[in-house]
Copies of this chain bind each other. A is one copy, B any other.
Amino acid sequence: MKAPPFKGLWYFKTAAELGSFKQAAEALFVTQAAVSQQIRILEQQLGCTLFERQTRKVNLTQQGQDLLPYLHKAFGQVEMGLSMLKSDPNPNTISLSVLPSFATCWLLPRLTSFNKALPSYQLRIDPTEQLADFNHEDIDIGIRFGLGDYQGLKSELIAKDELVIAYRPGLIDPRKPLRAQLSKLNFIYDEGRDNELAWQALSSQLDLEGHTLSNLKIDNAALVQQATVAGQGFSLLRKRMVEQSLEMGQLEIYPDFAWLCEYGYHLVAPENHFEWAKFKAFRDWIVAELNGIEAC
């Protein structure tokens, strides 16, 4: 089926409402010759005149007046449909998709802060390794640690982080040199570019070439942390993730070493989510919260 001449009809509607081709042209950000032409073409296609041309003014013909209300309804429907697409279906619930490690190490300890800052929103947390599919799962915002290239989605960097040497208090003496102490201990690690780079930096700095990487490999940052807390050895952990454990005295970090990660924390979502009120509110809260920690 052939498409109706939408562009001409849109120009017609604008001109009809404003009662002037010139004003319509301004409203449409085109020259008035363009409006004149479009409406002429439209009239040809419809086989009837919509405007009666007088010098310096145009008036709707009967047919033009008859047509207008239909277009009003039609364009109104389109507008409603499009604005519906952009609008937030659950304005009072914030559904997050986050890594389990981030959820347990960072987010959960701060729930009281969240409830204090944004009491009108209900928070729903979906801890998954893989970023949720925004088309099928009802997720508002993803929080991911990475480079920010999530295809088809918009992302915004909210914080960087750095890897530090973490261990159970007493396992390492922070006042004595590292090298000798480390060689006796397991290195607990998970795979990942930052972890690897930081290890290289550390080992070249301390001349630890002999220390093999394969001592204790765990494929999950939260478990690495757990093993470290349990005193299984030392590890490279993200500072923001151990913050809680430090406060509770479960972990200690060795001074004078920090590896700035290439990766960063990102808010990830379809572009239109960034316009939602609850999105902006959440962003403000989490950014403030992250900066608060930075100040420590």
Contacts and interface: CB of A to CB of B under 8 A. Distances in A.
Given A63-B85, A81-B74, A85-B46, A10 B14 contact: no
A270 interface: yes
Which secondary structure dominates chain A's binding surface? helix
A30 to B, nearest CB: 10
A78 B82 contact: no
B271 A82 contact: no
Contacts of A70: 77-78, 80-82, 84
A81 B73 CA distance: 10
Interface in A205-231: none
A77 B79 contact: no
Contacts of A1: 14, 27-28
Question: Chain A contact residues (Cβ within 8 angstroms of B): what range?
Answer: 35 or more
Contacts of A272: 46-48
A292 interface: no
A265 B46 CA distance: 26
Contacts of A71: 77-78, 81
A57 to B, nearest CB: 16
Interface of A: 1-4, 6-7, 9-10, 14, 27-29, 46-49, 52, 61-63, 66-67, 69-71, 73-82, 84-86, 135-136, 152, 270-272
The 10 A-B residue pairs with the shortest CB-CB distance in the complex, in nearest-first order: A70-B81, A6-B6, A74-B77, A47-B271, A74-B74, A47-B272, A73-B77, A3-B10, A74-B78, A61-B135
